[in-house]
Structure 1
């Protein structure tokens, strides 16, 4: 393998690894969470996560099982994600096309940046999740339940989960430095061997 090919390979691998190294996953267990009414309705379950001051939610993955009690539809059960001021937000409904009552399982993931739905939390670092029912059916209470599963949020920023204000060591810098040192070592070895790659 030529030095030029090796350099290109190392640079390409470094950039690939570094570009995916910034997101920190936050996993939310949704088992037993109930949904009663539209966002803001009394009884809706609200979670507040400290994801770090100024952090940005850039991706979502989910594997959930939910039940909508008749006459509610599975498409009406959702989560309202926002910063604590609720100035940036997006709605998430895993069964968005399922116009039926009953139980359904949903698995998928989305790049929120591509969808234009990424959001930035404020200086308090708080991400707010409100589990809601898009249409409140007066005949049932709650309208739906999240039976089991998880929602994983990809978050970028300078803070570690659970430790507000704690800096995250930036893995991309370490990886780029490691790739550079490896390339320097290979170049030095090549020079010592008279220009032949070992």
Structure 2
């Protein structure tokens, strides 16, 4: 009875590992990360010291494939809604994408914006570095001396993420683990 249970456990482990390997190798696994952006001010130009920066640890080499937004922005005159932006980048800023939800709305005030962009289709998808950190910097596109220029009153950003595919060495370690479990099962029989 114990041998049969152990053999079934080994088989279940082997099948589970095979499924994980198949999923990782196809690259079809996509996750969504929702980021609440309520009450974040847009201060100065990109890179200014007073800007709000969120740092999110996504895991090494995670790829950013899409971006959805559902936000309400408020621009203080003389700033315009079109000037408020958020820039997504790797921690070393080697890869970056900027989003201005109110692009084209050249007026002050408050307004709701929503949308979606498939970064892969646009050739804008990118991966965070080996440290796994994604930076979101809230800024303005035009300097006018006002601080803050505007406010992300409410809403969220949704990021489509694809985890990094394991390296071949990881598959080798998984195979060694399965062989060790199989050998232990044979010894017990």
Match for residue 149 of structure 1? 155
Moved segments of 4+, more than 2 Å: none
Secondary structure class of the residue paired with 1:113: helix
CA distance in structure 1 between the partners assigned to 2:154 and 2:144 by the alignment: 23
Match of 1:129 in 2: 136
More helix by share: 2
**1:116 alignment counterpart:** 123
- Call closer, same or farther: CA 1:20–1:104 in 2, change over 3 Å: farther
Rounded to whole Å, the distance in 2 between the matches of 1:120 and 1:20 is: 14
Q: Deviations over 1:123-172 (max 9, x none)?
A: 0000010000111221x21001000000000010149xxxxxxxxxxxxx
CA distance in 2, matches of 1:116, 1:100: 30
Deviation at 1:42, TM superposition (A): 2.0
Contact 2:63 2:164 in 1 (8 A): no
Residue of structure 1 equivalent to 2:11: none
* Whole-angstrom CA distance in 2 between matches of 1:21 and 1:70: 45
Pairing partner for 2:102 from 90, 95, 117: 95
Scaled by the length of structure 1, the TM-score of the pair is 0.68
- The superposition leaves residues 160-186 of structure 1 with CA deviations (integer Å, 9 ceiling, x where unpaired) of xxxxxxxxxxxxxxxxxxxxxxxxxxx
Q: Which structure 1 residue ranges, 5 or more long, are not aligned?
A: 1-18, 160-198
RMSD value over aligned CA atoms?
1.6
Q: How many residues align?
A: 140
